Amino acid sequence: MGKYNFDAIIDRHHTSCEKWDFLKDKFGRDDLLAMWVADMDFTAPPEVIEVLKERVDHGIFGYTGRTDSYFDSIVQWVDKRHGWKIEANWIRHAPGVVPALSMSVLAFTQPGDGILVQPPVYPPFYSAVNGRGRRVVENPLVFRDGRFEMDFDDLEKKIDSSVKMLFLCNPHNPVGRVWTEEELKRLGEICGRHDLIIVSDEIHSDIVFKGFRHVPIASLSPELAARTITCIAPSKTFNIAGLSTSAIIIPNKRIRDNYTTVLDFLHIDSGNIFGTFALEAAYSKGEPWLEALIEYLEGNVNFIEDYLKENIPSIKLVRPEATYVPFLDCRGLGLSNGALFDLLINKARVAMNNGAWFGKGGEGFMRINIATPRALIKEGLDRIARALACIEK
């Protein structure tokens, strides 16, 4: 075991934790092994916990501002991890990346406008658009030779003068792609030609596996920077999603001012005292923990791939280039979407996200959360293998 013990099984029941304590609300039963919503069953980096303890010990939790060192930790992180040089005054706040998507819709589109999404994709990409009189315009990804790709011809066809914005998911949840520089340039060229604002959700950009490199689309050219709102957060990276703190990077002053107007109108700029301190500690001191985490997660990816090959060859892992929530391709089982869900939930007793919840192209896939001790991954896969063996009898 190294410095961090990701094999430790920590009971999260009775902590009001969505993943383990709210299974019944989501899946209709609570006797399940939780492998769904995107948070991890690991403790946050010790440096983050230490800072939070210090704040708790102080005992006063009043309104809290953001210091120069807070902004500097973000500037340094984005440069060090992704090679993008940003300025502190480009950074705005959001209580989450999803609220930033919603605020962008409110700030930059009108009722009737279209917003492009690339399904199968994280469901709030739909809910941030629907219900506000705007329209989701789908540009589905295509599954080719075991990986998902963008369909640029379809994208061109889908854009008319009412389409104003693209929600980019990079790296992409749930297909696990880290979009390449070439793909992003081609996408950016199309967005430029049609004068679209790009809202780039890069919340998963820190968890990227060996051989891949995350490229922030806004880093590719001044033109792309000028039309892009980049959303990052320490929440997925360091398992602090409950602290509701994200950073929104907007180089273009006009776009930044409009975003700020909505933020001020909603009066949600003040943020969360613990999130503010945790973000700075995570970005300035959490890198060694993150490196160890990525290695452990990659070990889980290899474990799942080998297990499936050996024991359940009709299910295949869509090998993720990034993220800890990859797709399992279950189409080889030949089950309807309803029967597949029933098999996993009611027979195997494993809670995973149904691929169909992610929109077009997600049917026949299930999303597994691999940010959990390897022993629990094995338990989940054993349960599926046993449930399948019962059906085949």
DSSP H/E element including 197: strand 197-201
74 touches ligand PLP (CB under 6 A): no
Stretch that binds ligand PLP, among 80-88, 93-101, 130-138, 340-348 (CB under 6 A): 93-101
DSSP H/E element including 390: helix 374-392
Q: SS3 breakdown of the chain: % helix, strand, coil, rounded to 5?
A: 45, 15, 40
Closer to ligand PLP by Cβ: residue 241 or 255: 241
Is 254 in a helix, a strand, or coil?
Answer: helix
Are 190 and 156 contacting, i.e. CB atoms less than 8 angstroms apart?
A: yes
Closer to ligand PLP by Cβ: residue 201 or 321: 201
CA distance 283 to 238: 9
Closer to ligand PLP by Cβ: residue 127 or 311: 127
Reading the block at residue 103, the tokens are 């605020």
103 touches ligand PLP (CB under 6 A): no
Q: Least distance in Å: CB of 236 to ligand PLP? A: 6
Q: Least distance in Å: CB of 78 to ligand PLP? A: 17
CB-hemisphere CA count at 13 Å for 338?
A: 0
203 touches ligand PLP (CB under 6 A): yes
Q: Which residue is nearest to ligand PLP (CB)?
A: 96
**Interface residue with ligand PLP, options 41, 47, 113, 201 (CB under 6 A):** 201
Q: Least distance in Å: CB of 122 to ligand PLP? A: 4
Closer to ligand PLP by Cβ: residue 98 or 330: 98
CA distance 242 to 96: 10
Q: Least distance in Å: CB of 277 to ligand PLP? A: 17
**Interface residue with ligand PLP, options 96, 114, 355, 373 (CB under 6 A):** 96
**Interface residue with ligand PLP, options 173, 228, 237, 258 (CB under 6 A):** 173
Stretch that binds ligand PLP, among 94-102, 103-111, 263-271, 308-316 (CB under 6 A): 94-102
Are 361 and 143 contacting, i.e. CB atoms less than 8 angstroms apart?
A: yes
Exposure letters 335-351 (e unless 16+ CB within 10 A, then b): bebeebbebbbeebbbb
Stretch that binds ligand PLP, among 90-98, 146-154, 186-194, 307-315 (CB under 6 A): 90-98
Closer to ligand PLP by Cβ: residue 241 or 387: 241
**Interface residue with ligand PLP, options 169, 175, 301, 348 (CB under 6 A):** 169
Q: Least distance in Å: CB of 388 to ligand PLP? A: 28
35 touches ligand PLP (CB under 6 A): no
Q: Which residues contact 76 (CB under 8 A, 6 or more apart)?
A: 283, 284
97 touches ligand PLP (CB under 6 A): yes
122 touches ligand PLP (CB under 6 A): yes
CA distance 253 to 387: 56
CA distance 206 to 113: 32
Give the binding-site size for ligand PLP (rule: CB under 6 A). Answer: 13
199 touches ligand PLP (CB under 6 A): no
Q: Which residues contact 287 (CB under 8 A, 6 or more apart)?
A: 80
Q: Least distance in Å: CB of 95 to ligand PLP? A: 8
38 touches ligand PLP (CB under 6 A): yes
Site string for ligand PLP, 223-262 (x = CB under 6 A): ----------x-x-----x----x----------------
DSSP string, 98-129: HHHHHHHHHHH--TT-EEEE-SS--THHHHTT
Q: Cis before residue 119, ω within 30 degrees of 0?
A: no
User: Hey, which residues does 229 pair with through a beta bridge?
Assistant: 199
141 touches ligand PLP (CB under 6 A): no
Phi, psi of 360 (to 5 degrees): -45, 135
Are 225 and 211 contacting, i.e. CB atoms less than 8 angstroms apart?
A: no
Which residues of this chain interact with ligand PLP, rule CB under 6 A? 38, 96-98, 122, 169, 173, 201, 203, 233, 235, 241, 246
